[in-house]
Amino acid sequence: MATFIKSAPGYRMSRTEKKLLHYTGKAIADYNMIQTGDRVMICLSGGKDSYTLLFLLNKLRLRSGKKFTLAAYTLDQQQPGWDDSAMRAYLDQYDIDYTIESRDTYSIVKEKVPEGKTTCSMCSRLRRGNIYRYAAEHGFNKIALGHHRDDLIESLLMSILYSGEVRSMPPKLLTDNKRHIVIRPMAYCQERDIIRYAQEREFPIIPCRLCGSQENLTRARVKQMISELAEHNAHVPANMLNAIGNLRISQLMDKRYWDFKGLEEGLLPLDSYSDLDENSDDSGPVLPWDETTITTENSHCGPKPAAIKVALPTTSN
pLDDT attached to residue 188: 98
pLDDT in tens, 233-250: 999 999 999 999 999 999
Higher pLDDT, 286 or 59: 59
pLDDT attached to residue 16: 97
Answer yes or no: is 310 within a domain: no
Answer yes or no: is 2 within a domain: no
pLDDT in tens, 210-232: 554 444 578 889 999 999 999 99
Please, which pLDDT band fits residue 15 given cuts at 50, 70 and 90? Answer: very high
Q: Please, what is the average pLDDT of the chain?
A: 84
Tally of structural domains, the chain: 1
Answer yes or no: is 89 within a domain: yes
Domain range for 178 = 15-213
Q: Is residue 104 predicted with pLDDT exceeding 60?
A: yes
Answer yes or no: is 106 within a domain: yes
Answer yes or no: is 95 within a domain: yes
CA distance 277 to 112: 61
pLDDT attached to residue 210: 59
Answer yes or no: is 289 within a domain: no
Answer yes or no: is 294 within a domain: no
| Report field, pTM of the whole predicted structure over 0.95 | no
Average pLDDT over residues 197-206: 96
Q: Is residue 300 predicted with pLDDT exceeding 60?
A: no
Higher pLDDT, 116 or 103: 103
Higher pLDDT, 313 or 277: 277
pLDDT attached to residue 287: 45
Please, which pLDDT band fits residue 275 given cuts at 50, 70 and 90? Answer: low
Q: Is residue 311 predicted with pLDDT exceeding 60?
A: no
> Percent of the chain scored above 90 by pLDDT?
66
Answer yes or no: is 297 within a domain: no
CATH number of 129's domain: 3.40.50.620
